[in-house]
Amino acid sequence: MLHPQKKQVPNNLKKSKFDKVAIIVSLIFFILVALNPISLLRGPAPYPPEWQYPYLYVNTWSKIWAPGLVILFVMGVGCFYKKSRLLQKNVFFLSLLVVLSYLFQMSVLFFSRSGVNVLFHRITNPGLNGYFSSSLEIKNIGEFLRQYGDVVLQMPMHAKGHPPGTILFFHLVNKISSLLPTDLLLPSTLRPERGDVFILWQSLAPYQRLGAMIGGLAIPFLSSLGVIPVYYLARILKNKETAAWTTLFYIFTPAIVLFTPLPDVFFPVFGVAAFFLAAVARRNNNYFLVFLSGMVLSLGLFFGISLLPIVLMVILFLFLNQPVKKIVSSGSGSMILFFLFGIAVSFGFLYTIGYDSFSNSIKIIGGQAHRSYLVWIFYNLYDYFLFLGIPTAIVYFANLFDYIDKKTKSRPVLVLSTLIPFLILNFSGLSRAETGRIWSFFMPFFTISAVQYLIKSKASKTVFLTLILLQAVQILFIQEFWVTLW
């Protein structure tokens, strides 16, 4: 009679083909993106009322050397991580990855059809952004917060779909830039090429132009800082190897790179940091940390209410981390109350200074675009997993199917904690379009699950590096042929 463990061999052989499957799927996608025979790959229909990424090919392959160098450097880090004592030091490793993440985002902008200057065009143009132009209207912060619910739906573009956090961020940046030597810091050659944006640019005071420049450079940096909480979350949930590979994958998450400088790219920092604090609190039975987790998440909610599913994710995580019989006695219920109390305290503070988080969030949600529910039930998922990264998505689904197929007795806590809120959000119909950007806060959690599955499957270093390379190339192809942001 065969030993039971030998039955796993075919499955392991199947797992070893991750790179081959990803190569085939990615190559097909690259060809379809370049030739554009199927417009439905870009979305169901153009806006309005639906959403479809425009196809616009402008040959910029001569500039591919810039992102190419960063890609090679990141792959080198992955190749020598275990052999290098220097890379084993967390401070050096994470500092290096923050720099590489930032350089990659800037290099992709350099590679783009409009160059790096498009960063400032995207900041100042109210038709593309809305946060910066709205910040220029603030005379008194207290009055601005008190009146926010009355004016939010009249604000331009993305500003009307978000709480005031990002607007106040640009207001603060402008205040700081007004104290700096503008003549020394503001390049005279920094001028938007589009006529309408140039007129707006000329109407700005010099310190406001400097503020737009600083803000435009700061947002990619803030999103790059995301590698730090992502690393520590993966480490506490899994192990150091998972943490290292997860951060390398995260640098090449298409959503984080292709939607800069919209603030959604740094929203994952809040969600991952809050989840990390909850995980540490659960491990150490620390009620202060879980309270702090709620406060950190509430800060994120002040920037984007899209982070609301993190509330359910943390609650599920705290419950599912214990055996069913011990959920009540383990103190999970008390921890959840402290977590919610942290959110309530923050919301209460905002209420005392005039900002009603609850009622304003209801208004913002009610102001979302009206699109076909049934169409976006599918396209939301397609858009999300596309901008998660094709290789990561393939591994994640393999992980999911493996759990279903094996019917394992151990609960996949992270998978369930993320997938349940994710599916609830999708079928709720609250988001319809651009979920690759709006739901980017989910992506670190999906990436951790995928990387851990690769490690569990004993994937070789070559497989890891191949998948990372494919995901980086996917970013370049989308950047070259589609317009994710004008």
Convert the pLDDT of each residue in 273-309 to its tens digit. 999 999 999 999 999 999 999 999 999 999 999 999 9
Q: How far is CA 277 from CA 14, 230, 281, 290, 291, in A?
A: 36, 12, 6, 6, 9
Burial class (CB in 10 A: 0-12, 13-18, 19+), 203: exposed
Residue 478 token pair = 């989308």
Task: Let me know the angle formed at the C-alpha of 186 by 185 and 191, rounded to the nearest 5 degrees.
Answer: 160
pLDDT of residue 327: 55
Q: Lowest mean pLDDT of 40-44, 198-202, 453-457, name the range.
A: 198-202
Name the pLDDT band for 453 (thresholds 50, 70, 90): very high
Q: How far lies 305's CA from each of 70, 400, 421, in Å? A: 33, 28, 14
- The confidence band for 325, taking pLDDT boundaries of 50, 70 and 90, is low
Residue 349 in this model has a pLDDT that exceeds 90: yes
- Check residue 265 and report its DSSP letter: G
Average pLDDT over residues 36-54: 92
What is residue 326's predicted lDDT score, i.e. its pLDDT?
Answer: 59
Mean pLDDT of 333-350: 95
User: Stretch 90-107: mean pLDDT, rounded?
Assistant: 97
Alpha helices (runs of H) in 302-412, residue ranges in sequence order: 309-320, 332-352, 357-366, 373-388, 390-406
Instruction: Tell me if 29 sits within 8 A of 70, measured CB to CB.
Output: no
Q: What are phi and psi of 482, to 5 degrees?
A: -110, 165
Do residues 256 and 444 make contact, with C-beta atoms less than 8 angstroms apart?
no
- pLDDT at res. 486: 73
Q: What's the CA gap between 43 and 47, in Å, rounded?
A: 10
Alpha-carbon gap, residue 12 to 5, rounded angstroms: 11
pLDDT tens digits, one per residue of 412-425? 899 999 999 999 99
The stretch 13-23 carries a mean pLDDT of 74
User: Quick check: 211 and 177 in contact, CB under 8 A?
Assistant: yes
Domain residue ranges in the chain: 122-224
* Measured distance CA(340)–CA(479) in Å, rounded: 40
Sequence-ordered list of residues with C-beta below 8 angstroms from that of 101, at least 6 positions apart, any chain = 223, 224, 226, 227, 250, 251
pTM listed for this prediction: 0.93
Whether the CB-CB separation of 101 and 91 falls below 8 Å is answered with no
Beta bridge partners of 55: 482
Helix intervals (H) in 225-356: 227-237, 240-251, 254-258, 267-284, 287-301, 309-320, 332-352
How confident is the model at residue 328, as a pLDDT? 56
d(CA 52, CA 153): 23
Q: How far apart are CA 448 and CA 246, in angstroms?
A: 6
Report the alpha-carbon distance of residue 18 to residue 450 in Å, rounded.
11
Tokens linked to 77: 């880090």
Spatial contact of 289 and 341, defined as CB atoms under 8 Å apart = no
Averaged pLDDT for residues 347-376: 89
Residues sharing a CB contact under 8 Å with residue 316, sequence separation 6 or more, in sequence order: 416, 417, 420, 421
338 Cβ contact partners less than 8 Å away, ≥ 6 residues apart: 287, 290, 291, 294
**Calpha distance 22→467 (Å, rounded):** 7
Asked if 243 contacts 235 with a C-beta cutoff of 8 angstroms, the reply is yes
Helix (H, G, I), strand (E, B) or coil at 140: coil
What number of other Cβ atoms are within 10 A of residue 448's Cβ? 27
Residue 482 pairs in a beta bridge with 55
> Residue 407's pLDDT is what?
53
For residue range 398-407, what is the model confidence (pLDDT) as tens digits?
999 888 877 5
Lowest mean pLDDT among 127-136, 165-174, 185-194, 323-332: 323-332
Backbone angles phi, psi at 46, to 5 degrees: -65, 160
Whether residue 13 is predicted with pLDDT greater than 80 in this model: the reply is no
Following DSSP, what letter does each residue of 417-486 receive, concatenated? HHHHHHHHHHHHTS--S-HHHHTGGGHHHHHHHHHHHHHHTT--HHHHHHHHHHHHHHHHHHHHHB-S--
Which pLDDT tens digit goes with each residue over 100-154? 999 999 999 999 998 888 888 888 888 778 899 999 999 999 999 999 988 988 8
Transcribe 47-77 into DSSP letters: TTTS--PPB-----GGGTHHHHHHHHHHHHH
- The pLDDT score that the predictor gives to residue 449 is 96
d(CA 127, CA 125): 5
Q: Is the pLDDT of residue 96 over 90?
A: yes
State yes or no: pLDDT of 18 exceeds 60.
yes
